[in-house]
Amino acid sequence: MNPLTIIKIGGKLLDHKTTLHDTITAFAKIDRPKILVHGGGKRASEFSQKLGVKTQMINGRRITDEATLEIATMVYAGLINKQLVSLLQKMNCNAIGFSGADGNLIRSQKRPVQEVDFGFVGDVEQVNTSLLVTLLKQGIVPVFCAITHDGNGQLLNTNADTIAATLATALSNYFKVSLKFCFEKEGVLADPTDETSVFRDLSKKDYAFYQENGIISDGMIPKLDNAFTAKKSNVHKVVICGPNGILEQKGTEIWG
Amino acid sequence: MNPLTIIKIGGKLLDHKTTLHDTITAFAKIDRPKILVHGGGKRASEFSQKLGVKTQMINGRRITDEATLEIATMVYAGLINKQLVSLLQKMNCNAIGFSGADGNLIRSQKRPVQEVDFGFVGDVEQVNTSLLVTLLKQGIVPVFCAITHDGNGQLLNTNADTIAATLATALSNYFKVSLKFCFEKEGVLADPTDETSVFRDLSKKDYAFYQENGIISDGMIPKLDNAFTAKKSNVHKVVICGPNGILEQKGTEIWG
């Protein structure tokens, strides 16, 4: 099978112009089929604040009401996505920006209301792999934002790590996929205060142990859950890394 | 040559939910290759106001500064484009939303500063017809917003009528193109206060005469200039019409 690299960028990488530029430059240099998935960074919160739209939180989890969904669609699918595409085009990388609605590429289901009503949040249901494979074969570089749709006219806010993991899993039937979750640290840290304490690899067993002992916590957990799910679902290689890990063998490799 | 329909929607069509829905329903029913081009409507001005970004005008013409370009990118390429795509998907129409940066589909040049510096406004230079033809042959329905790029990392605000006319011209080498500029009136009116006074057709000579006599004026002029340019450039059929003109033979047909 031919190789395919899927890079997810998020967190503070998107908020600093120079770091973002270096990250995109590295991505553009990958000389094989590739996909970029991006989160939203601070911009959406900044616009929400300016527009007087308050972020609703329930039990520490963010709720996506209609106004928040509009802002997410504008900032993720509009501003950030098109700025990245235009930057990639400058680097001779034939990028096309996508939401999940475009070409019905990622269909999701509005998260069912249980204890919490998360609002317009979508859990991924289906990837239109045949169209995606066709586009990749034509040399197109898809750039996905974290907006999907339900197939019934409703856009939905979706976690960018989950989108990256789902795309990697769906495309593993067609390509030997390397999935890299790229953020502002060099990998998963054994000691959050020590940037050099990067785990070279992480097994499911180790992960459970470190989680129990509070060594791995907070924001790393959903990212690692997505990483382990992808690895378990036949994705060839899964890595958590910084921008340096895009072209080099760096960061934390995930073992199933 | 195979037929291709290009529909440009703008003005008040975008601002009224029911009218927009009817327009998109008609568009979805066109049973041949098709392209949708949309303007911005009121939404961009609404967001500008909410964000405290003032519209700069020089000699009655709008200037696109950086803040205005950001808002245009968010509203046109993000909010409106993805809402239209998601609605079309619901209607089983395999739409993909594009800015000109995506796939380098429309490259433009920042308008040179002469008497007025229009800011981040782009005049169309080149259409990537080969990619567009490939996508159309795959059954994709492109949905273009009025944002282009200069190939050097800069997004640019571009007139949606001009984008529609340029796409129609570029694709006339491959398809028998019908280009319809669709807005809230039923066509070009002989008397702006009488909705039934629609010209059935308009020649270049008639247009010059009506313009001199002030019968056709204001907002219709740039639209008609684009329409005549397209007609002159070998576009098979050019029509100015209302939503009813999408599926029926209605509106004002342009003669070269």
Pick the more confident residue, A114 or A168: A168
Q: How far is B58 from chain A (nearest CA, A)?
A: 26
Distance from CA of A51 to the nearest CA of B (A): 6
Q: Is A20 exposed, middle or buried (0-12, 13-18, 19+ CB in 10 A)?
A: buried
Q: Which residues of A touch B86 (CB under 8 A)?
A: 101, 149, 153-155
Contact check, Cβ <8 Å, A134/B138: yes
Query: Is A229's pLDDT higher than 70?
Result: yes
Q: Cβ neighbours of residue B148 under 8 Å, at least 6 residues apart?
A: B99, B100, B101, B106, B107, B108, B122, B124, B155, B156, B158, B163
- Within 10 A of A173 (CB to CB), how many other CB atoms are there? 11
CA A87, B104, A138, A238: dihedral to nearest 10 degrees? 20
Q: Are A89 and B51 inside 8 Å of each other by CB? A: no
Residue pLDDT, tens place only, B25-56: 999 999 999 999 998 878 888 999 999 998 88
Contact (CB<8Å) A97/B96 = no
Asked whether the CA dihedral A139, B97, B182, B126 is positive or negative, the reply is negative
Q: Is the pLDDT of residue A201 over 70?
A: yes
Which chain B residues touch A154 with a CB distance below 8 Å?
86
Task: Inform me whether the pLDDT recorded for A219 exceeds 90.
Answer: no
- Of 3.10.129.10, 3.40.1160.10, 3.30.70.270, 3.90.1150.10, which CATH number belongs to A2-254? 3.40.1160.10
When pLDDT is cut at 50, 70 and 90, the band that residue B60 belongs to is: low
In angstroms, the Cα distances linking A63 to A68, A178, A220, B67 are: 8, 32, 20, 28
Question: Which residues in chain B are contacts of A103 at CB distance < 8 A?
Answer: 94-96, 140
Tell me the mean pLDDT in the region A67-95. Answer: 97
Looking at B117-233, list the stretches that DSSP marks H as alpha helix, in order from N- to C-terminal side. 129-137, 160-171, 204-212, 220-232
Domain with CATH 3.40.1160.10 in chain B: 5-10+13-167
List, for residues A29-46, the tens digit of each pLDDT value. Answer: 999 999 999 988 788 889
> Which of A106-120, B172-186, B209-223 has the least mean pLDDT?
B209-223
Q: Is the pLDDT of residue A58 over 80?
A: no
Quote the minimal CA–CA distance from A196 to chain B in Å.
34
User: Are B87 and A153 in contact (CB < 8 Å)?
Assistant: yes
AA letter at A71: I
Q: Pick from A79, A85, A90: which is nearest to B102 by CB? A: A85
A77 closest CB neighbour out of B82, B151, B154: B82
Q: Note the pLDDT of residue B129.
A: 98
Residues of chain A with C-beta less than 8 angstroms from the C-beta of B131? 138
Q: How confident is the model at residue A110 (pLDDT cuts 50, 70, 90)?
A: very high
- Separation of alpha carbons B28 and B10, rounded Å: 17
The pLDDT score that the predictor gives to residue A116 is 87
- Between A95 and A219, name the one with better pLDDT: A95
Contact A102 B90 (CB under 8 A): no
**In this structure, are residues A83 and A95 in contact, taking their beta carbons and an 8 Å threshold?**
no
Give the DSSP per-residue string, B211-225: HHTTSS-TTHHHHHH
Report the SS3 class of residue B18: helix
Mean pLDDT score of chain B, rounded to an integer?
A: 94
- Say if residue A60's pLDDT is above 70: no
Contact B110, B121 (CB under 8 A): yes
Per-residue model confidence as pLDDT tens digits over B130-151: 999 999 999 999 999 999 999 9
Order of strands, edge to edge, in the sheet holding A201-202? A95-98, A141-144, A34-38, A2-9, A175-182, A237-241, A252-254, A201-202
| A205: pLDDT strictly greater than 80 | yes
Contact call for residues A58 and A28 (beta carbons, < 8 A): no
The gap from C-alpha B163 to its chain's centroid, in whole angstroms, comes to: 6
Neighbours of B178 (CB within 10 A): 19
Does the domain made of B5-10+13-167 have the CATH classification 3.40.1160.10? Answer: yes
State how far residue A200 is from chain B, nearest Cα, in angstroms: 36
User: What pLDDT is recorded for position A45?
Assistant: 87
Q: How much is the pLDDT for A55?
A: 81
Task: Verify whether the Cβ–Cβ distance A153 to B95 is below 8 Å.
Answer: no
Phi (first) and psi of residue B116, to 5 degrees: -120, 140
For B224-251, what is each residue's pLDDT tens digit? 999 999 999 999 999 999 999 999 999 9
Phi then psi for residue B66, to 5 deg, are -60, -45
Choose among A145, A154, A156: nearest CA to A43.
A145
Which pLDDT band holds residue A217 (cuts at 50, 70, 90)?
confident
Residue A172 confidence (pLDDT) above 70: yes
pLDDT band with cut points at 50, 70 and 90 for residue A167: very high
Task: Write down the pTM of the prediction.
Answer: 0.97
What pLDDT shows up at residue B11? 79
Contact A222, A159 (CB under 8 A): yes
The answer to whether B74 contacts A74, with C-beta atoms less than 8 Å apart, is: yes
Mutation target among B50, B66, B79, B137 for the A interface, most CBs of A within 10 A: B79
Interface size, chain A vs chain B, as Cβ–Cβ contacts under 8 Å: 122
Sheet strands (E) in chain A:
2-9, 34-38, 56-58, 61-63, 95-98, 106-110, 122-127, 141-144, 147-149, 155-157, 175-182, 201-202, 237-241, 252-254
For residue B8, pLDDT beyond 80: yes
Cα separation of B135 and B139, whole Å?
7
What span, in angstroms and rounded, lies between the C-alpha atoms of B199 and B143? 29
Q: Give me the DSSP letters along A154-221.
A: -EEE--HHHHHHHHHHHHTTTEEEEEEEE-SSSS-BSSTT-TT-B-SEE-HHHHHHHHHTTSS-TTHH
Nearest residue, CB atoms, B89 vs list A131, A147, A149: A149
Distance CA B142, CA A222 (A): 35
Q: What residues in A contact B95, CB-CB < 8 Å?
A: 101-103
Q: Which of B49, B73, B82, B84 to mutate to test the interface with A (most CBs of A within 10 A)?
A: B82
